[in-house]
Amino acid sequence: MDKINNRRIFITEEISESLGLRYSAKQFFKHIESIPADSITVDFVDTKFISRSFAHEYLSRKKSSHKRIIEVNTPENINKMFRVVENSNNKRSRNPKRIKAVIL
Amino acid sequence: MVFMRNNPDLVNHYLRFCRLRSDYLSSKDLDVGRYNFYYPVTILPLINFIKEHSIKYVYHPNAGVNRYLSIITSSSPYRSGKTYVPIVELPYARTKLDFTLKRIINLVSKYGGSDAFNYVIYELSENIYEHSNFRNAFLMAQRYSNFLEICILDNGVTIPGNIMNNYPDMSKEEDYQAIYDAIEGLSTKKEEGRGYGLGSSVKLFTKGLEGKLFIVSRCGACYIDKSKPTYYKLNSSHRWDGTLISMRVPLPPRNVDIYQYIYPQSDKKL
């Protein structure tokens, strides 16, 4: 059986305790993809905040990655944001409502 | 269409900028002395206008106002303990953006509401980088005795411009309708799960923090507080060729559970 090598990454060390920018998530995954390991454990310990954009980019990149990526020590607020993104993946149709406006 | 005389304060102070701009375009004189008090919703578009027109000299006859305008427009670094974040020009390079935004968030969340401010400022800044193709983008914040005002603007392709570029069948829509559609989640990105940033920020800011918010983009505008939103069709002297968002939140800000506001349909699953 092939041995799966695993690497653990602390996300606060790679980015910061505040995960805000989509760009940061892209850069983070570039780093992950460059690591010669089949499995990556992303440790979210001490993470304080995650934006919706960051969470969306993180999950999109994770989905398309060939590596096995596992999150650990994920604070509840980070988990909630991941769930928000996962639950909002249905493309919405345009609201047909026509609105009125004040002339200014 | 209806006409309205009593505009909200944020709208009236944006109109001050429009009057200064109109006067300058006809007289080549930027008379900032016309007003003795400036909020970010006036200052920020004015700074962009000054930059675009290479106006070298701006002087206010009141020494206090002159000094304030000088400080707020200087590139001096943000210092903790101050009631303002001087005007920050958003960098073209996203590598430097995180540092800039964290300085602002530190000031505005000093009295609470940290998660909500983090969410709103990151999402609105992301929108500028993802959609606007800006030449200039600025952000500033000012704390007053009972409220905080944050203003963010760019001079990019605008919300209606972006939507109409991506949805040619909507090219005849009114600009205010495009703003409404964007708030409702119409995304110009084709990936799933996109298009929530603006609408969720508006909801969190107005319903969660009980703030007021004014969006101007091309010839459309929208004022929203916790009651019913008002949409505006702007005449040419009030248009903004870019997107301006100015927000006021009462102090101290409420510490809200942001997840109640950013995607309520998923509340039960959270």
Per-residue pLDDT reduced to its tens digit, A18-66: 999 999 999 999 999 999 999 999 999 999 999 999 999 999 999 999 9
Q: Is residue B41 pLDDT above 90, yes or no?
A: yes
Predicted ipTM of the assembly: 0.85
For range B66-91, the mean pLDDT? 73
Are the Cβ atoms of B266 and A18 closer than 8 angstroms? Answer: no
Taking the C-alpha atoms of residue A38 and residue A24, their distance in angstroms, rounded to an integer, is: 22
Q: What is the pLDDT of residue B216?
A: 98
CB nearest B231 (choices: A23, A85, A101): A101
The full DSSP string for A41-96 is EEE-TT--EE-HHHHHHHHHHHHH-SSEEEEES--HHHHHHHHHHHTT-SPPPPP-
Q: Is residue B255 pLDDT above 50, yes or no?
A: yes
Q: What is the pLDDT of residue B215?
A: 97
Cα of A41 to nearest chain B Cα, Å:
24
Q: Is residue B266 pLDDT above 50, yes or no?
A: no
Among B92, B105, B118, the strongest candidate for a mutation testing the A interface, having the largest count of A CBs within 10 A, is: B118
B163 within a domain of the structure (yes/no): yes
Q: What is the pLDDT of residue B245?
A: 97
Are the Cβ atoms of A101 and B174 closer than 8 angstroms? Answer: yes
Residues B202-219 pLDDT 10s: 999 999 999 999 999 999
Cα of A2 to nearest chain B Cα, Å:
35
CB nearest A51 (choices: B119, B184, B220): B119
Q: What is the pLDDT of residue B265?
A: 57
Specify the number of domains making up chain B.
1
Q: Which residue has the higher pLDDT, B195 or B91?
A: B91
Q: What is the pLDDT of residue B270?
A: 42
**How much of chain B, in percent, has pLDDT values that exceed 90?**
48
CA-based Rg of chain A, rounded to a whole angstrom?
Answer: 18
Q: What is the pLDDT of residue B234?
A: 97
Are the Cβ atoms of B176 and A99 closer than 8 angstroms? Answer: yes
Are the Cβ atoms of A81 and B221 closer than 8 angstroms? Answer: no
Q: What is the pLDDT of residue A36?
A: 92
Q: Edge to edge, what strands does the sheet with B137-143 contain? A: B2-3, A102-103, B230-233, B220-224, B212-218, B240-250, B147-154, B137-143, B84-89
Per-residue CA distances from B227 to A97, B188, B198, B210 (Å): 18, 28, 18, 10
For range A82-89, the mean pLDDT? 84
Among B126, B169, B181, the strongest candidate for a mutation testing the A interface, having the largest count of A CBs within 10 A, is: B126
Write the CATH number for B240: 3.30.565.10
Cα of B65 to nearest chain A Cα, Å:
28
Q: Is residue B36 pLDDT above 50, yes or no?
A: yes
Taking the C-alpha atoms of residue B104 and residue B137, their distance in angstroms, rounded to an integer, is: 15
Q: What is the pLDDT of residue A38?
A: 92
B231 within a domain of the structure (yes/no): yes
Contacts of B114 in chain A (CB under 8 A): 49
Q: What is the pLDDT of residue A98?
A: 87
Q: Is residue A89 pLDDT above 80, yes or no?
A: no
Contacts of B123 in chain A (CB under 8 A): 51-53
Are the Cβ atoms of A95 and B118 closer than 8 angstroms? Answer: no
Are the Cβ atoms of B193 and A81 closer than 8 angstroms? Answer: no
Are the Cβ atoms of B194 and A21 closer than 8 angstroms? Answer: no
B4 within a domain of the structure (yes/no): no
Q: Which residue has the higher pLDDT, B5 or B228?
A: B228
Are the Cβ atoms of B101 and A20 closer than 8 angstroms? Answer: yes
Contacts of A104 in chain B (CB under 8 A): 4, 7, 11, 15, 221, 232-235, 238
**How much of chain B, in percent, has pLDDT values that exceed 70?**
92
Question: Which residue in B has a C-alpha nearest to residue A56's C-alpha?
Answer: B193
Sign of CA dihedral B4, B6, B11, B17: positive
Q: What is the pLDDT of residue B81?
A: 66
Cα of A6 to nearest chain B Cα, Å:
29
Taking the C-alpha atoms of residue B204 and residue B186, their distance in angstroms, rounded to an integer, is: 18
Structural domain including B70 reads 9-269
Q: What is the pLDDT of residue B70?
A: 79
Are the Cβ atoms of A20 and B98 closer than 8 angstroms? Answer: yes
Q: Is A84 in the B-facing interface, judged by CB distances under 8 Å?
A: yes
- A4 pLDDT tier (thresholds 50, 70, 90): low
Q: How many residues does chain B have?
A: 270
B180 within a domain of the structure (yes/no): yes
Are the Cβ atoms of B122 and A20 closer than 8 angstroms? Answer: yes
Q: Is A63 in the B-facing interface, judged by CB distances under 8 Å?
A: no
Q: What is the pLDDT of residue B267?
A: 40
B77 within a domain of the structure (yes/no): yes
